[in-house]
Structure 1
């Protein structure tokens, strides 16, 4: 029974982190690239409007960074619950 509670707590924490990271990805990709595009286009980076940059490049960079963040979070979570091999 304790093992089931342990696994359930691990899974709940895992889902919490996944949802947070997906929310960040949504805000960057859809929010910055579509919803807030007009406001961000007033700022220029390297000659390109910031809204355009997020839609074309920034969302991909953030996605790759989020992958590394997820790996780091999961390694800590595995150690916390004793699932590291």
Structure 2
């Protein structure tokens, strides 16, 4: 029973680590690129629009959707690693 508990604890620690990393990336993109660094990013144009504006309006949403797919892939690997993939 103890080994099952240890396995579950290790699983959730790794899961939380993935969540923290991915949410940090999303925060950096949405808050950093869309708000903090908007002025400097506006010097770059993307499709005729300033890059800071693009990140604030669409870029952070695209990054969030990509991070969802990355999370699903990471969790599938994690489930297989710990034997929770049945």
Superposition TM-score tier, normalisation by shorter sequence: over 0.9
Q: How many residues align?
A: 85
Say whether 1:62 aligns with 2:54: no
Deviation at 1:11, TM superposition (A): 0.3
Instruction: Give ranges in structure 2 of 5+ residues lacking alignment.
Output: none
Q: Deviations over 1:7-56 (max 9, x none)?
A: 00000000000000000000000000000101100100111000000000
**Structure 2 CA distance, aligned partners of 1:69 and 1:19?**
13
**RMSD of aligned C-alpha atoms?**
0.4
Q: Which runs of 4+ in 1 moved over 3 A?
A: none
Q: TM-score, normalised by structure 2?
A: 0.98
